[in-house]
Structure 1
Amino acid sequence: MRNAQRYSFIPIDVALGEASFRPYLPLTLIYQQNSVITSGLLDTGASVNVLPYSVGVELGYVWEQHTTALSLTGNLAQYEARVVVLQGVVGQFEPVQLVFAWTQATNVPLILGQVNFFMEFDVCFYRSHLQFEISPKSLALE
C-alpha cells in the first residue's frame, strides 16, 4: 500500500484477552469552526458511518436543524438518525468529506462504514498481528 499509515488494534476489555482487540482509528472530525479528536471503529460490515449523538453535539450540530432522516438497521434500528456531512482528517492525509448517520443513540461507538469511509480509504487488516494499514483511495490498482 503506497503512503500507508499503520495503526495497532486497541483492547476493549482486557479480561477477554486477544479477543477484545478492535481496529479503532484515531481521527479528527471538523464541522465549521469546531473540531473533535476521537477514534472510530473500522467496521466493514456497517453500511454507513455512524456518529454518536454526543459527538455531533460537541461538533455543534443541532438535532432540530437536520431534517434529512434515515433508518438504521440492526441494534440501532430503534433510534432516529439524521444525515450530517463533515470533514475528517486521518493522520497526515488530506481532509476528506465524510457522510454520517447522526444517531440519538448514546451507547454506540463512532463507526466508520462502507458509505462513505471505505469509499475514501483503502484499508488492509493484519488481525494476527493486531495491526491495520490505511491509505487514501487509489485511482488505479498496481
Structure 2
Amino acid sequence: MTLKKRFKFIEKSNSLGEISFVPYLPFSLSSPDSSISGSGLLDTGASVNVLPYEIGLQLGLNWDNYNTSVTLAGNLANFPAKGVILLATIDPFVPITLVFAWTQAKNIPLLLGRINFFQEFDVCFYGSQLAFELALKSI
C-alpha cells in the first residue's frame, strides 16, 4: 500500500492585502552543517527547485564553495544561481535528496519544481478542497 499524506493549502496575503490559498509543503532541510524547518511552494511551472539565498545562509552554505552555475528563467533570469544538494524530510516520508538552484534573489519563496521534487513525489491537487496529496514515487 502506498503511503500518502494530505496537506491543506495555506492562506497568504500579498502587499495589497489580497488573500489567496497556495500549496505550501512543510519540511525540514539539512546540509552537512545545519538543519532548518520551513515550507516550500509546490510550483508545477518551475523547472527546478529554487532555494532563496537567505535560507542557504541559514543552512551554513557558503556561496564561494559552490562551482556549478545554474541558469534560471522567468523572474529569476537576472540572478546568479548555483547548484546545491540538500536532504529534505517531509513527515511521514523517508528523507529524500533534493537538488536546488541556490539563487541570490531576495524575497522569493522556496520553490519545489519539476527537477527534482516532482520526479521524487506524486502530487494530486484538489483545488476545490484547497488541498493536495503527496506520495513517494512508485518504483
TM-score by shorter chain over 0.5: yes
Number of aligned residue pairs: 137
Calculate the TM-score normalised by the size of structure 2.
Answer: 0.95
Q: Give, in whole Å, the separation in 1 of the partners of 2:41 and 2:7.
A: 12
Q: Give, in whole Å, the separation in 2 of the partners of 1:92 and 1:107.
A: 29
Deviation at 1:21? 0.5
RMSD: 1.3
Calculate the TM-score normalised by the size of structure 1.
Answer: 0.93
Q: Give, in whole Å, the separation in 2 of the partners of 1:101 and 1:33.
A: 18
3-state SS of 2:57 partner? helix
**Which one has a larger percent helix, Structure 1 or Structure 2?**
1
Deviation at 1:67? 1.2
Give the aligned residue type for 1:110.
L
Unaligned segments of structure 2, at least 5 residues: none
Unaligned segments of structure 1, at least 5 residues: none
Match of 1:21 in 2: 21
Is the counterpart of residue 40 in structure 1 residue 43 in structure 2?
no
Q: Tell me which stretches of 4 or more aligned residues in structure 1 moved more than 3 Å.
A: 14-17
Deviation at 1:16? 3.2
Deviation at 1:2? 2.6
Match of 1:78 in 2: 78
Q: Give, in whole Å, the separation in 2 of the partners of 1:97 and 1:22.
A: 24
